Amino acid sequence: MSITIYIWYLISIEKINEFNIDILNKLDNLYNRSIKEGFMEKKKMGKKPNMFPFPVTIVGANYKCKPNYMTIAFAGVVNMNPGMIALGVNAKHVTTRGIYENKTFSINFPNEEMVKVTDYIGINSGKTVEKSKLFENFYGQLKNAPMIKECPVNIECRVYKTIQDIGSDDIVIGEIIETYAGTDFITHGEIDIEKVKPITFSWKGYYSTGNFIGKAWEIGKNYNKD
């Protein structure tokens, strides 16, 4: 190899290295920009209802004059005034039959200490387990919507509307008649989520709630996109 060719070889290698470094810097800047501006790559995850988080509740209803319960994560507020909550329930469950029979039900919010019994309720049918014996039951204004005294918060509902034959689950919309909370879980007249320590659910399992991160209807007032 002549000295001239060798020199050109060294120059070309240097240029390639400079080019590669320049490309890497541009890619790094693009990645940092994507993080800052939220341009993250997205992947299709199908039609599975990935809502985060699901609230873990124990729904109660009388069936054949006895309290029965089922664990439900498909629950959410659908109206403020009057307060209404919708449930996604399987029509084959004993508790669902009780809801249709009495037109009433309760929603009970277990805390972290109740995670085992909550799961137990969810994996065992009322056809084989008498779940009323697992708790101290009580009734409120409706007289026929059983609630769990051990749960920090309880809501009794009257069925407002049901939607059936839409898929795997029926939708039951209940009007809130009254809410009950243990006095140990109230701060300044409001139910305190940090004291309740409710359970949440994702498809991997049960989770505890996180820390307070900002005051609603206030933290966004000073938001600056730039």
Whether pLDDT at 81 is above 80: yes
So what's the pLDDT on residue 22?
66
Give, in degrees to the nearest 5, the angle at Cα 30 between 29 and 31.
90
Model confidence at 10, pLDDT cuts 50, 70, 90, reads very low
Gyration radius of the chain's alpha carbons: 28
Whether pLDDT at 82 is above 80: yes
As a whole number, mean pLDDT of residues 200-204 equals 90
Q: pTM for the whole thing?
A: 0.80
- For the segment 29-66, what is each residue's pLDDT rounded down to a tens digit? 666 666 556 567 888 888 888 888 899 999 999 998 89
> Hey, what are 27's tokens?
């890619």
Query: Which residue type, as a one-letter code, is found at position 126?
Result: G
So what's the pLDDT on residue 140?
97
So what's the pLDDT on residue 34?
60
- For the segment 138-175, what is each residue's pLDDT rounded down to a tens digit? 999 999 999 999 999 999 999 999 999 899 999 999 99
So what's the pLDDT on residue 196?
96
Half-sphere exposure of 218 toward its Cβ, with a 13 Å CA cutoff?
A: 4
- For the segment 110-138, what is each residue's pLDDT rounded down to a tens digit? 999 999 999 999 999 989 999 989 999 99
Q: Which residues face 109 on adjacent strands? A: 153
So what's the pLDDT on residue 41?
86
Model confidence at 7, pLDDT cuts 50, 70, 90, reads very low
As a whole number, mean pLDDT of residues 197-212 equals 91
More confident residue, 174 or 221: 174
Q: Where do the DSSP E strands lie in 56-168?
A: 57-63, 66-72, 75-79, 84-89, 104-109, 137-138, 147-148, 153-163
Look-up of token digits 């809410």 = 179
Q: How far apart are CA 59 and CA 159, in angstroms?
A: 13
So what's the pLDDT on residue 51?
80
Query: Which region among 4-8, 80-84, 213-217 has the lowest average model confidence (pLDDT)?
Result: 4-8
Whether pLDDT at 3 is above 70: no
